[in-house]
Amino acid sequence: MLTIKRVPTVVSNYQEDVLLESNVVGCGRKCLGKCCLPVSMLPLYSFKNDDNEPMEHNIHTLPEEEYQISFLNNLLLGLWEERMSQGLFRYDVTTCETKVIPGKCGFIAQLNEGRHLKKRPTEFRIDKVLQPFDENKFNFTKVGQDEVLFRFEPSTDYKRRYFSGMGVDAGISPSIVAINVSPIEYGHVLLIPRVLDCLPQRIGRDTFTIALHFAREMADPFFRVGYNSLGAFATINHLHYQAYYLSVPFPVEKAPVRKILARKGLGGAGVIVSKLLNYPVRGFTFEGENGSTIRDLSEVVVNSCISLQNKNIPFNILIAQCGKKIFLFPQCPPTTVTEKGSLFTYGIAGNNRAANVGSGEDGVYTALPLP
């Protein structure tokens, strides 16, 4: 008999209010705020920062490069499992029951009560994609450093390096990789670009490339990076990306597409934009041609996202194939949405999965047929 611990849905153990001692230095919690982070030592992974390097040469070029890239993959998994052994997660996601729904898409259903029960109310409006950052509401500067795996920063010499402990330089706002304490899948982490800048949840030109570099450096086709805008199931208005492993292709990765246009990059190579065909939700793919760079791909995707944001159209992003292919899912402008989201809207659009069935929906899950 499967037993799932019933816990509040939060992304950090520090999301709930706690009382603090009045005689401690700073906030006394070793958080990621300006009170604690600048005097802290955290692991640092420096990635090769060359946005103009052709993308087909990013992976498996030299034995030394291959070793360095696989090192980050092993590092993340090792630290993630270490946090699991320390009891930092709200539940054991590896025990959540899953099944494949028969049909041409092959969607995956997961019964994950631990993520959805007693969900914390959303602290911002759901009918506006662009909203200012509010320091009085939960944000990632309040996360404890025990939930941090490592900093993810561009190198200064175009080489990949890892430091087990490195201080944060004055004036630097580091990008952080931390666990999601309410995971959807194995290895579920949060990528928080420039955490001290307190950026709201919106796509920008300089921060989106960090997510592409993260996917590229992981160099694992089963590791995907995702983004949810406000109004498309983002629950915290502090810039962050979700990322986790799934050992099979997402249904959308197998969907047929039709090319609709191509954009030339700075180096002459193009970015191909295609439309999903015969898929339950609207979506587009962006894929670089041979010779295209991270900058080429990023520019086209970011321009599309900024256009959607400015028109108050919520959307979801999936970064697949180690950063080489990006899926964009525009959503209907939000008006009235239930707090949990509908069963299939959340699964297909937000996570490209069939369902993440929450509290009170176990009967629906049970009713889903096995192949």
Rounded CA-CA distance 214/236 in Å is 21
Convert the pLDDT of each residue in 200-252 to its tens digit.
999 998 899 999 999 999 999 999 999 999 999 898 999 999 999 988 888 99
Counted residue by residue, the chain has a size of 371
Using pLDDT thresholds of 50, 70 and 90, give the confidence band for residue 157.
confident
Give pLDDT, residue 359: 35
Instruction: From the candidates 116, 188, 238, 240, give the one annotated as an active-site residue.
Output: 240
Average pLDDT over residues 74-102: 90
238 among known catalytic residues: no
Rounded CA-CA distance 106/89 in Å is 29
| E strand or H helix that includes residue 351 | none
Give pLDDT, residue 10: 64
Of the listed ranges 21-35, 138-152, 246-260, the one predicted with least confidence: 21-35
- Nearest in space to 356 (alpha carbons), one of 188, 217, 132, 165: 188
3-class DSSP state of 295: helix
Using pLDDT thresholds of 50, 70 and 90, give the confidence band for residue 265.
low
* Average confidence score pLDDT of the chain: 80
**Residue 135 identity (one-letter amino acid):** E
Q: How far is CA 128 from CA 131, 205, 302, 335, in A?
A: 7, 20, 19, 9
Using pLDDT thresholds of 50, 70 and 90, give the confidence band for residue 52.
confident
Q: Are strands 148-154 and 41-47 parallel, antiparallel or unpaired?
A: parallel
Alpha-carbon torsion (256, 323, 281, 366), positive or negative: positive
Give pLDDT, residue 64: 47
Of residues 263 and 317, more confidently modeled: 317
Q: How far is CA 338 from CA 119, 125, 335, in A?
A: 12, 12, 10
Task: Dump the DSSP string for 138-151.
Answer: --GGGSBGGGEEEE
Beta bridge partners of 288: 271
3-class DSSP state of 262: strand
Evaluate if pTM is beyond 0.75. Answer: yes
Instruction: Compute how many other C-beta atoms are within 10 angstroms of the C-beta atom of residue 308.
Output: 18
Rounded CA-CA distance 10/16 in Å is 8
Using pLDDT thresholds of 50, 70 and 90, give the confidence band for residue 358.
very low
Give pLDDT, residue 51: 77
State what percent of residues in the chain have pLDDT above 70. Answer: 76
3-class DSSP state of 228: strand
State what percent of residues in the chain have pLDDT above 90. Answer: 49
Say whether pLDDT at 313 is over 70.
yes
Rounded CA-CA distance 12/173 in Å is 20
Instruction: Compute how many other C-beta atoms are within 10 angstroms of the C-beta atom of residue 312.
Output: 14
Rounded CA-CA distance 231/311 in Å is 13
